[in-house]
């Protein structure tokens, strides 16, 4: 599946789980793309596929707000019990955000999850 088809699939399947942040001029400065996992596990859970905030708008709490919106929608709309995500071990800024600000826990490390570019 091409990357664009993957994103369209998210938008069409779970439109209530993706959000954008705009600046005062209406320009998009951040987004979160999320979905519900369909792997048949006993506990329903959501997954953050992608989170990004433009460099010029970081450290303003936008990532927190985007994640809160998506997480709340997962619970309210789909009765999600928890939220998962993947992050590169080398992405220190993201690890700091997820662990310290958003209180995520490392549950598992998947070797070779990210293919070498």
Query: Would you say residue 116 lies in a domain?
Result: no
More confident site: 10 or 73: 73
Query: Would you say residue 114 lies in a domain?
Result: no
Instruction: Give me the pLDDT at residue 89, please.
Output: 82
CA distance 103 to 105: 7
Who's near 71: CB < 8 A, 6+ residues apart? 46, 80, 83
Query: Would you say residue 29 lies in a domain?
Result: yes
Instruction: Give me the pLDDT at residue 41, please.
Output: 66
Instruction: Write the burial class of residue 79 (CB in 10 Å: 0-12 exposed, 13-18 middle, 19+ buried).
Output: exposed
**pLDDT at 1 > cutoff 60:** no
Tens digit of pLDDT for each residue in 54-92? 999 999 999 999 999 999 999 999 999 999 998 888 888
Query: Would you say residue 64 lies in a domain?
Result: yes
Query: Would you say residue 113 lies in a domain?
Result: no
Task: Provide the number of structural domains found in the chain.
Answer: 1
More confident site: 83 or 113: 83
Return the closest-CA partner of residue 53 out of 64, 68, 69.
Answer: 64
Query: Would you say residue 69 lies in a domain?
Result: yes
Domain holding 57: CATH number?
A: 3.40.630.30
Query: Would you say residue 89 lies in a domain?
Result: yes
Answer yes or no: are the C-beta atoms of 66 and 72 closer than 8 Å. Answer: no
Instruction: Give me the pLDDT at residue 87, please.
Output: 86
Query: Would you say residue 25 lies in a domain?
Result: yes
Domain with 92 in it: 3-101
**In the chain, what's the furthest Cα-to-Cα distance?**
44
């Amino acid at each position: 599946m091409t990357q664009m088809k993957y994103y369209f699939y998210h938008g069409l399947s779970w439109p209530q789980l993706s959000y954008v942040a705009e600046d005062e001029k209406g320009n998009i400065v951040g987004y979160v793309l999320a979905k519900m996992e369909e792997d048949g596990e006993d506990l329903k859970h959501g997954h953050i596929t992608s989170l990004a905030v433009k460099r010029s708008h970081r450290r303003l709490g936008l990532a927190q707000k985007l994640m809160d919106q998506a997480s709340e929608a997962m619970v309210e709309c789909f009765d999600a019990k928890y939220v998962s995500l993947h992050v590169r071990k080398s992405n220190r800024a993201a690890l700091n955000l997820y662990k310290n600000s958003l209180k995520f826990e490392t549950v598992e490390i998947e070797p070779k999850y990210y293919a070498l570019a």
